[in-house]
Amino acid sequence: MAQTIAAEAFYSGALRRVDRFMLLLSPVLVAAAAWMLGFRPALGLAFGCAIAWVNFHWLKRVIAGFADRATGTATPGSGQGIVFRFLLRYVLMAIGAYAILTVSPASLHGLLAGLFLPVAAILCEAMYEVYAALAHGL
């Protein structure tokens, strides 16, 4: 019973740890890109990481809104706001990509790579969870 409670407490912190991994990986990846590829791709990567981080947080809010709506705890008019925020994420990503492309086409590859920051953070979280399960029996 105690092990189940400890495991539940550990796994319930996954989103918080993914957020921290994103904040940790961003400067490391941008510095590596600046060193290996140059300033413009690193700048695109930094913008991509920022967009991915904001997108991740907005997605969490949208999913929480959908869950509130499904359970009936949301206010009646909040459905339109949820859909608007969901679509706004993609509009802002498209505007960011267009702005980067018009300023510096070389930065576009960095921007696109930066959008995969949550994938890298989730991979780090998965490796951490495997380590915790093996080391602590969670």
In terms of C-beta density within 10 A (0-12 exposed, 13-18 middle, 19 or more buried), how is residue 28 classed? exposed
Q: Which two tokens stand for residue 23?
A: 């904040």
pLDDT for 118? 93
pLDDT for 55? 85
pLDDT for 24? 95
Q: Which two tokens stand for residue 32?
A: 């590596």
pLDDT for 138? 65
Pick out the chain residues at pLDDT < 70: 1-3, 73-79, 138
- What is the spatial distance between Cα 96 and Cα 110, in angstroms, rounded to a whole number? 12
Strand residue runs (E) in 1-138 = none
pLDDT for 36? 93
